[in-house]
Amino acid sequence: MQILFTATPPADVRLHARLVNQGASLAGLDQALVEGAAAARFSGRVGQVFEGFAAQGGVVKRIALAGAGEAGAGERKLHLERAGAALTAKYLTSGEPAMVLDLSGAGLSADDAAAVLLGLRLRGWRHDKYRTRLAADKRPSLTTIHVTGAPEGTQATWAREEAVAKGVEFTRTLVTEPANIIYPASFVAACEEAFAGTGVEITVLGEPEMEALGMGALLGVGMGSERESKLLAIRWNGGAAGDKPTVFVGKGVTFDTGGISLKPPPGMEDMKWDMGGAGAVAGAMLALATRKAKANVIGVMGLVENMPDGKAQRPGDIVTTMSGQTVEVLNTDAEGRLVLCDVLHWAQEQYDAARIVDLATLTGAMIISLGNEYGGMFANDDTLAAQLTAAGLASGDKLWRMPLGANYDKMIDSPVADIKNVGPREAGSITAAQFIQRFIRNGTPWAHLDIAGMVWAAKPGHSWDKGATGYGVRLLDQFVRDVAEG
């Protein structure tokens, strides 16, 4: 979706929209519109959209009013984002190719205005690549937004948010593509193409390099697949030369059958999005590089495919990680932590990180705990946990902190190796986090985000349609703004 700023609306655009604060007067509008809005009980509540028609200059215009909520609300920016998204949801397939959006009259700042535009843009993302018989009235038509009355500074602010939108859209695309299209090597290729010209440094390790480094846990997951496993690192050096980097690590299981511990067939098709953590890291790095963030940030992704095969690892196998710790693999479907432990160790060997945050669609138990409202957060550092919580509230990618503790850690002690990859049925998300924590060295501030319930939506949300949400990109970008750039 293209967003253009103009002083005068194009005469040939029929659809005109404006924001209305909750309880605000509609004085100045055509009387028929005012009466129609009242009859429809339009009050300016967040997410409301009223449509009417009015003659302007002898031409009938389609007029939309979008509720922006209370002017002084604490979550004002998120409410404005929802207002923009509501307009897109209503008019994306309306047959209208363009919309004039008047941002005057709602008392907006440049940040507020950019939030409206971000909602408009994000809600307009669709993945219709494979829908060859989509009915004409179901196809997106709205491609251009002409913005008038924007507050001073909006264009510069929007340039920053547009970079974030680009990152979210990239993540959604990676997560949505089927596993015959996105697998470890093609994930790397997609990133190399997307990051061309951005100034990042890209490092790729294949199986021979990882085998030489002793990454027995990650490589064990991919043994049953014909697709070669990869490690991808993307480095953005936008901060001071001496500043330690922030490191984001993503689980990238491009398809997860469960391996020999095979998942039940119903719903297995959803496991194309088991690389949602790596997808979020890739999208966040694209946003940061595109907006030229003034911070040093590195994204590292472990990319594997977990398949059953005669060469696949078996329950009961013992693997040696890059750290030297041994793992008894009791369940080959608890594979994400095996990928992360080697990637985290490699990242700590390569980079002197100021802090590490890993993201993973790790456990179904997290969905049972938090549903689809929050990502679960585990952290060894209270300051880092508070910073991530604040970034989640500001961005809308919310987090809820979960516990860690010595008694939970004992649940993953193995009688025949250093660790077993699953504990008992109870506290499954916590013991998974305890497993990962054993690979964090020297007290480095670390947080693990279990986002299993957040990367895919069964129904439309505030700024996304059904399917991939792009969760995590805005969270990480906001975190970098607040902490690494702040």
Q: Which positions are catalytic?
A: 263, 337
Please give, one letter per residue, the 3-state secondary structure of 48-95: CEEEEEEEECCEEEEEEEEECCCCCCCCHHHHHHHHHHHHHHHHCCCC
**Residue 214 half-sphere exposure toward CB, CA atoms < 13 A:** 10
Non-local (6+) Cβ contacts of 21 within 8 A are: 44, 68, 69, 70, 71, 106, 107
d(CA 236, CA 234): 7
User: What is each CA distance from 91 to 6, 48, 64, 134, in whole angstroms?
Assistant: 21, 13, 10, 17
DSSP string, 415-474: SSSSEES---STTHHHHHHHHHHTT--TT--EEEEE-TTTSEESS--SS--SEE--TTHH
**Contact, 71 vs 117, CB < 8 A?**
no
What angle, rounded to 10 degrees, do the helices at 336-350 and 428-437 form?
30
Q: At residue 102, what are phi and psi to the nearest 5 degrees?
A: -95, 115
d(CA 397, CA 285): 16
**Contact, 255 vs 221, CB < 8 A?**
no
Which DSSP letter does residue 266 get?
T
**Contact, 288 vs 295, CB < 8 A?**
yes
